[in-house]
């Protein structure tokens, strides 16, 4: 099998409790042609000291420290800027990759050289055996018309060709849904390889971005708006007919999200969501009734 260099990217912010386990999981990989880039975003705990100790023990490990706190997705872009590999593989500082995980990811991607990126941790497909590749149109159809999730995967689930990541401009600086935004943009132009579970391991905790996102009702509207922008546009791989169908679905989703905000978190938050979407009260009722 071809052994291309994989740039493993780990952004770090106050993860002293878990960071050693995350780094160890990379070191123990059966696939060994990797570099590990760690970018500390101004940790106030012992995270920086921990990762410096690992750097001193393995020349493949490189540690960088930001002068100012960049935040989640800008720091992911910063880590990618240091990368030299053919592939980018995010492993978050509180997660892990299985020993054979990197080997599988590279093996799958190398079978489909025209693909721009791959996503793993997907549920069993009843009709196809993983891995398989989807064209841009097939990807959007699968997510929005076959209702089989593609775009709602965290960076840990991805492997991305570095040249393709750079071609689309990397992650947008949009907190909480930058991953979904990137998968939409990548899939407008490039095929994706879908892969099974059992490659990476997620940790769930209250301090994670995903946990924070779920607690903020406005994030629901922002995520819908982002998906709307990419799915109903000149760059969308969907036909005009299907875009029209999705326009109505997104408007209904927005109306439902706003009403959820009014009911669950109060009038003020509901109004914040309504103003963000630009919908008036008549439109909310209209699209909710569709």
- Tell me the per-residue pLDDT of 3-38, one tens digit each, with 9 for 90 and over: 999 999 999 999 999 999 999 999 999 999 999 999
3-state secondary structure of 268: helix
Let me know: does 158 contact 91? Beta carbons within 8 Å. no
Name residue 40's beta-bridge partners: 12, 65
Output the pLDDT for position 217.
65
At 215, list the tokens.
């607690």
Output the pLDDT for position 209.
53
At 178, list the tokens.
């930058």
Euclidean distance between CA atoms 112 and 193, whole angstroms = 7
How far from the centroid of its chain's Cα atoms is residue 226's Cα? Answer: 13
* 157 secondary structure, DSSP code: G
Euclidean distance between CA atoms 75 and 272, whole angstroms = 28
Task: Name all contacts of 129-136 with Cβ < 8 Å and 24+ positions apart.
Answer: 130/194, 130/195, 130/196, 131/193, 131/194, 131/195, 131/196, 132/193, 132/194, 133/191, 133/192, 133/193, 133/194, 134/191, 134/192, 134/194, 135/191, 135/237, 136/187, 136/188, 136/189, 136/190, 136/191, 136/237
CATH number of the 6-205 domain: 3.90.550.10
What is the H or E stretch that residue 7 is in? strand 6-12
3-state secondary structure of 134: strand
Which residues in the chain land under pLDDT 50? 211-213
Strand ordering across the sheet containing 117-122:
61-65, 34-40, 6-12, 87-90, 158-161, 117-122, 192-196, 132-134
* Dihedrals phi, psi of 84, to nearest 5 degrees: -120, -5
Strand segments (E) across 123-246:
132-134, 158-161, 192-196, 200-201
Output the pLDDT for position 113.
97
User: What's the pTM?
Assistant: 0.90
Output the pLDDT for position 206.
58
What is the H or E stretch that residue 164 is in? helix 162-167
Euclidean distance between CA atoms 265 and 282, whole angstroms = 21
Output the pLDDT for position 268.
83
Let me know: does 171 contact 179? Beta carbons within 8 Å. yes
Output the pLDDT for position 287.
75
């Amino acid at each position: 099998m071809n052994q291309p260099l994989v740039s493993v990217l780990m952004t770090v912010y106050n993860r002293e409790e878990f960071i050693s386990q995350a780094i160890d999981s990379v070191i123990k990989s059966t696939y060994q042609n990797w570099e590990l880039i760690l970018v500390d975003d101004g940790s106030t705990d012992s995270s920086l000291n921990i990762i410096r100790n690992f750097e001193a023990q393995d020349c493949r490990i490189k540690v960088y420290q930001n002068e100012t706190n960049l935040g989640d997705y800008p720091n992911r872009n910063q880590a990618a800027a240091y990368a030299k590999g053919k592939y980018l593989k995010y492993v978050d500082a509180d997660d892990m990759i299985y020993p054979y995980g990197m080997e599988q990811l590279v093996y799958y991607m190398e079978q489909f050289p025209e693909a721009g990126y791959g996503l793993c941790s997907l549920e069993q497909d009843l009709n196809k055996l993983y891995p398989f590749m989807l064209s841009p149109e097939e990807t959007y159809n699968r997510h929005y018309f076959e209702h089989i999730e593609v775009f709602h995967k965290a960076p840990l689930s991805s492997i991305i060709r570095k040249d393709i990541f750079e071609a689309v401009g990397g992650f947008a600086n949009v907190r909480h849904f930058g991953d979904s935004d990137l998968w939409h943009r990548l899939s407008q132009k490039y095929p994706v390889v879908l892969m099974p579970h059992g490659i990476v391991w997620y940790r769930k905790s209250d301090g994670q971005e995903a946990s924070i996102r779920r607690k903020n009702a406005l994030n629901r509207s922002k995520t819908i708006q982002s998906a709307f922008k990419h799915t109903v546009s000149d760059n969308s791989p969907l036909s005009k007919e299907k875009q029209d169908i999705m326009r109505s679905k997104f408007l209904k989703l927005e109306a439902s999200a706003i009403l959820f905000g009014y009911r669950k978190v109060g009038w003020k938050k509901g109004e914040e969501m309504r103003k963000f979407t630009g919908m008036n009260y008549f439109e909310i009722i209209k699209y909710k009734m569709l």
